[in-house]
Structure 1
Amino acid sequence: MSKAHGHLQQARAALTAFNPQAAEESLRSFEDEIKTSGLTADAAALFQAELAEIRGLAEAAKDGVAAAQRQFREILELSRRLDTYDRSGNRKAEQVAPMATRKF
């Protein structure tokens, strides 16, 4: 296994562990290694496949974060309009949203 391939594997592992900083460092190390040691045709095909997988993982992570952010915003919006009722069916008015700071 070449150093460049090892950097790609580290980048994939970092993305899987949701550590984008480590993944970026590994990809930069991969780039530096390719610049200094060159690239064979066989290695290029292998690296192209590895990079496609890494790109897919990065896209999936980006989509997952965006979905979580959307869900969090929806939960916040719904929690501000949360109505509660007591056992007899009467509506209880409770402040669930934080009070806005007022400046006079």
Structure 2
Amino acid sequence: MNDATEYLKQARVALIAFEPDKAEEMLRKFEAELQNHPLTEDAATRCTAELSAIRDLAASAREGVFAAQRQFQEILKLSRHLDGYDKTGKKTTEQVGPRSTRKF
């Protein structure tokens, strides 16, 4: 098996294991290997499949980060106010967190 393909497989495994530094190292080794040894047609097909899997993992990770950021912002927004009800059943809202400062 071509070393370039093996580097891509190791990069994919590192991404799944949440080891971005190792994944980057493997991708750099992949790039260096391509400069030194051109791929055969069969190896190019395998590399294309591995690169597609890596691209899909990166897209999923990006979507997960965006979702976490949105959730965190919503939690921060909701945590600044405490909603409750008084004895008459009227909704009351109290400021519990500091107001965010805005600089213009």
| TM-score with structure 2 setting the length | 0.78
Shift of 1:14: 1.4
Distance 1:18 1:85, change over 3 A: farther
Structure 1: gaps (5+ residues): none
Higher strand share: 2
Paired-residue identity, %: 57
- Does 2:44 correspond to 1:44? yes
Shift of 1:50: 0.8
Q: How many residue pairs get matched?
A: 101
| TM-score with structure 1 setting the length | 0.78
- Does 2:55 correspond to 1:55? yes
Structure 2: gaps (5+ residues): none
Cα distance in 1 for residues equivalent to 2:74 and 2:100? 20
Shift of 1:96: 3.6
Tell me if structure 1 keeps the 8 A contact 2:82–2:93: no
Q: Deviations over 1:65-103 (max 9, x none)?
A: 1100110110110111123579xx8x99876424779xx
RMSD of aligned alpha carbons: 2.6
